[in-house]
Amino acid sequence: MAQTESEIVQEIGADYGTKYGFSNPDEAKDYFFKSGRGLSHELVDAISAHKDEPEWMRKFRHKSLDYFNARPMPTWGGMPSLTEIDFENIFYYIKPTENQVNSWEDLPADIKDTWDKLGIPEAEKKYLAGVGAQYESEVVYHKLQESLEKQGVLFLDTDTALREHEDVFKQYFGTIIPQNDNKFAALNSAVWSGGSFIYVPKGVHIELPLQAYFRINAENMGQFERTLIIVDEDAYVHYVEGCTAPIYSSDSLHSAVVEIVVKKGGRCRYTTIQNWSNNVYNLVTKRAVAEQNATMEWVDGNLGSKLTMKYPAIWLMGDGAHGEVLSIAFAGKGQHQDAGGKCVHAAPNTTSVITSKSISKNGGRAGYRGLLEVAKGARGAKSKVVCDALILDDESRSDTYPYIRIDENDVNIGHEATVSKIGEEQLFYLMSRGLNEAEASAMVVSGFVEPITKELPLEYAVEMNRLIQLQMEGSVG
């Protein structure tokens, strides 16, 4: 019998622990390969050798590690917990299975069970054009609809892409985000593993989303996936990523690098629903380049993690390029979400919109940090930045850091920011219609983020609203 909506909602009562926080503790011994703790050039050699990589990549990794070691920990933003990351206590590379499979049945039972619990095989059947599933450091499952393969679409894990399509890979890899871009991009460049590689040929529109799901299972795991997406002229793709992890008492680290190129007239939408457990540092660099009349859209939902620092960026390099960043950050107890977006207008008639909604509760801290830059010569650039914060109680905090640099006179720039609280009167109004306090609060919050959830495919919008209700349950007495 099909589940009713309210039955599903009831299941939300199950907390993160039972829904996402489970782990497979016994399987560690069954991993195909697990590096020791700590970061070193020996580790880099081991990873590279394990992947049987070309020499240039091995060198790239070593150089990146040098950059990482040389760079100081960033101090801007005042993130004291950054200094608490113990890089020597992290496992940088775990290969759970010997081979990648393209049938869920071929996975070891406990790993398959994890994906079943997260509902990924079910989602694939219903509404996805392709799925990649990364467990620890490696993509263990990957599949793309045959019809798309025939049209020349490439959707592979990044390691396989390097092996099988080295030419196109090398042409773009590390060009959007240089290996020394920032300390964590350098770390990723040194120890990267997994992630998605997508190439959409000219004029091909992929109607259903491609999804990648990232799962950390082991304690003190470091996950460093590397994603590279190339959308050729007039092509379209919507890529969705989700992420969860078990709850452990000590911290894990997720530090991804995502590079995207959208060619003339193409469009790429990249949706993230990040729901890491509250012991994961989430320090991610995401940047896209949009060429002439291309459109790049980041839809970035941050609900989980201990500390997230993530500002998806768009460089509008061609005349008429358009960029959008829609960001939701939800910070609960012990969480700090430093999210936002960057748009750089480097060509005439480029347009951008950044919409940020942040919610903080139970002492959480959520903020918007964004950069809007218009270079000289980017005549006719238009941009609008809207950041709204909702603070649910007196212990919680919201910050807004909108950096704006304009070097061109012929521009049209708008910036609006609001901060609000859920009012007692609003809650009373909803409760006087029969909703309990948690339901009423969740309704106000869902409404607050609605401008962003309405941009999500229905299934993800439902998921996002469920996650918000889940988050809200703990927030009221």
Write out the residues near another protein by the rule CB under 8 A. 4-7, 10, 423-426, 428-437, 439-440, 443-444, 446-451
Question: Comparing C-alpha atoms, which of 315, 237, 251, 250 is closest to residue 283?
Answer: 251
- Compute the least distance from the CB of residue 428 to another protein, in Å: 5
- Compute the least distance from the CB of residue 20 to another protein, in Å: 24
Whichever of 21 and 451 has its CB closer to another protein, that residue is 451
- Compute the least distance from the CB of residue 139 to another protein, in Å: 37
Query: What DSSP string describes 57-98?
Result: HHHHHHHHHHHHHHSPPP-TT--GGGGG--GGG-B--EE-SS
Whichever of 159 and 388 has its CB closer to another protein, that residue is 388
Place of tokens 């990232």: 214
Evaluate whether 249 touches 288 at the Cβ level (below 8 Å). no
Whichever of 220 and 426 has its CB closer to another protein, that residue is 426
Whichever of 70 and 419 has its CB closer to another protein, that residue is 419
* Cα-based torsion angle of the residue sequence 14, 15, 19, 20 in order, rounded to the nearest 10 degrees: 180
* Cα 265 from Cα 278, distance rounded (Å): 40
- CB atoms under 10 Å from CB of 302, counted, come to 25
- Compute the least distance from the CB of residue 447 to another protein, in Å: 3
Whichever of 28 and 435 has its CB closer to another protein, that residue is 435
Whichever of 214 and 330 has its CB closer to another protein, that residue is 330
CA angle 53, 54, 56 (to 5 degrees): 120
Whichever of 11 and 45 has its CB closer to another protein, that residue is 11
Whichever of 261 and 467 has its CB closer to another protein, that residue is 467
Evaluate whether 390 touches 448 at the Cβ level (below 8 Å). yes
Classify residue 169 as left (phi > 0), alpha (psi -120 to 50) or beta. Answer: alpha
Evaluate whether 326 touches 301 at the Cβ level (below 8 Å). no
* Cα 322 from Cα 310, distance rounded (Å): 20
Query: What DSSP string describes 332-376?
Result: -TT-EEEEEEEEEE-STT-EEEEEEEEEE-TT-EEEEEEEEEE-T
- Compute the least distance from the CB of residue 418 to another protein, in Å: 11
Evaluate whether 323 touches 297 at the Cβ level (below 8 Å). yes
- Compute the least distance from the CB of residue 124 to another protein, in Å: 27
Whichever of 168 and 461 has its CB closer to another protein, that residue is 461
Whichever of 7 and 15 has its CB closer to another protein, that residue is 7
- Compute the least distance from the CB of residue 388 to another protein, in Å: 10
3-state SS, residue 233 = coil
- Compute the least distance from the CB of residue 433 to another protein, in Å: 4
Question: Comparing C-alpha atoms, which of 369, 360, 371, 370 is closest to residue 398?
Answer: 360
- Compute the least distance from the CB of residue 141 to another protein, in Å: 35
- CB atoms under 10 Å from CB of 439, counted, come to 16
Whichever of 257 and 442 has its CB closer to another protein, that residue is 442
Evaluate whether 274 touches 244 at the Cβ level (below 8 Å). no
**Cα distance from N-terminal residue to C-terminal residue, the chain:** 34
Place of tokens 């109680």: 393
- Compute the least distance from the CB of residue 475 to another protein, in Å: 16
* Cα 332 from Cα 395, distance rounded (Å): 11
- Compute the least distance from the CB of residue 431 to another protein, in Å: 4
* Cα 477 from Cα 474, distance rounded (Å): 8
